[in-house]
Amino acid sequence: MKLTHSRAVALMLVVTLLWSIAGVVTRHLEHARSFEVTFWRSFFTVVSLLVILPALQGRSVFSAMRRGGTALWLSGLCWSVMFTTFMVAMMLMPVANVLVTMAAGPLLTALFARMFIGHRIALRTWLAIGIAGVGMAWMYGSQMAGLPLVGTLVALCIPVAAAANWTVVQSSQQHGHAVDLVPAVLVGAVLSALATLPMALPFQATGHDILLLALLGLFQLAIPCVLAVRCGRVLKAPEMALLGLLEVIFGILLAWAGAGERPGSAVLTGGLLVIGALVINEFLGWKEQK
């Protein structure tokens, strides 16, 4: 089926809804904790992609990965950091805090692209970065006494790794070598599973937990990542960034409705500043591109 612009938008809505289920699902785990949660989700993502990738691109995809170059493996390393820190942060922090922190990724990407590959940053993006920084400071400053420092630092690793990932991809494309993001996701899942396995032992997950984490590996990571890459071939970067913000909204609402995790006023205020800054910046960028 040809993916038109309207179909790509609709598909991205499904993708963000699938991405957003991580928080509410982890709140219903029985015994699995921290690194074990990360290991099982990454493990089932690997299993899923080992089936999905050959079905979509043929068995040659694995030999192509060996020729993917340094950028593919650097991107995979960034994905592994994102996968690991996201789930660990989810087990340490409220869902809303993790998602709002993650939402700063596109603005950090603009900063990294300016610092490392010389991209120009528009005035509107500098303003958005400043406003988002105020929002993050307000959110964490108002909750400093009630949040674990380790959880805060782990959550901040997510947008940093995301910004590093997209900077690697953009730099590689500038040099004429496009990175296939779906194989990079597979590399990231493999590295995440291998890195967390020693710390996940001895396993404590029940059959109920493993079923939920298998659901996350397939439906929250593998399938939506494949779909998002396909949407990215049709939608422009600002459109992808704007639609991707729905993950934050969906995730907070699902955790609130499905697990009773109500976000505090500081999170709502800080989140509004972060998301509002990003929305305005990406909307203006989208109008400029049109």
CB 89 within 8 A of CB 148: no
Q: How far is CA 125 from CA 81, 107, 177, in A?
A: 26, 7, 27
* C-alpha span between 215 and 44 (Å, rounded): 8
Per-residue pLDDT at 290 exceeds 70: no
Q: How far is CA 96 from CA 26, 99, 180, 241, in A?
A: 13, 5, 31, 18
Question: What is the per-residue pLDDT for 1?
Answer: 61
Classify the C-alpha dihedral 62-195-200-189 as positive or negative.
negative
Digit-coded pLDDT (tens) for 8-24:
889 999 999 999 999 99
Range of the domain at 150: 5-289
Digit-coded pLDDT (tens) for 165-211:
888 888 887 777 777 788 889 999 999 999 999 999 999 999 999 99
Mean pLDDT of 130-157: 81
Residues near 165 by Cβ (< 8 Å), separated by ≥ 6? 75, 78, 79, 82
Classify the C-alpha dihedral 283-287-288-290 as positive or negative.
positive
* C-alpha span between 276 and 98 (Å, rounded): 17
Task: Provide the mean pLDDT of the chain.
Answer: 87
The conformation of residue 30, written as its DSSP 8-state character, comes to: S
Token pair of 157 as six digits: 């690793």
pTM: 0.87
Strand, coil or helix: 265: helix
Question: What is the per-residue pLDDT for 204?
Answer: 94
* C-alpha span between 286 and 239 (Å, rounded): 7
Q: How far is CA 37 from CA 26, 57, 86, 195, 217, in A?
A: 8, 30, 11, 13, 11
Number of domains in the chain: 1
